[in-house]
């Protein structure tokens, strides 16, 4: 099976940077998770997501943190929560490490 990603398909993904503005515990989730509200700037607005990142991050660590997410997936219902974007991270034995910029940038900038 050829699972190489074509440039045309890759360009369809819309990855943006946004700032976490709210973090809530998500006790209804099957695996420990947080409910996040993320500000992606004027063009995209605020989107919400569920993220299984409780091993590495406390809610206070996440508030104000800029994260990278795919913002053009269809919404997905996770228990009672509607996830509107996919926050990106690296899975490690010590938990997920979120992808972010090494300098603060404007919310909503596109990842290329």
pLDDT digits (tens, 9 = 90+) for 25-81: 999 988 899 999 999 999 999 999 999 999 999 999 999 999 999 999 899 998 889
3-class SS at 73? coil
Reply yes or no on domain 13-98 having CATH 2.40.50.140: yes
Answer whether 56's CB lies under 8 Å from 95's CB: yes
In the structure encoding, which two tokens stand for residue 34, read together? Answer: 């947080």
SS3 of 43-71: the string is: HHCEEEEEECCCCCCCHHHHCCCEEEEEC
In degrees to the nearest 10, what's the CA dihedral of 54, 60, 61, 67?
A: 90
In the chain, what are the domain boundaries? 13-98
């Amino acid at each position: 099976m050829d699972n190489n990603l074509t440039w045309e398909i890759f360009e369809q993904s819309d990855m943006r940077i946004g700032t976490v503005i709210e973090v809530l515990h998500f006790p209804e989730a099957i695996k420990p998770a947080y409910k996040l509200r993320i500000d992606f700037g004027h063009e995209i607005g605020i989107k919400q997501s569920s993220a299984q990142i409780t091993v590495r991050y406390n809610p206070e660590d996440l508030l104000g943190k800029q994260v990278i997410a795919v913002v053009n997936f269809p919404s997905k219902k996770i228990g009672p929560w509607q996830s509107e974007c996919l926050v990106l991270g690296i899975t490690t034995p010590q938990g997920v490490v979120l992808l972010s910029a090494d300098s603060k940038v404007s919310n909503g900038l596109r990842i290329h």
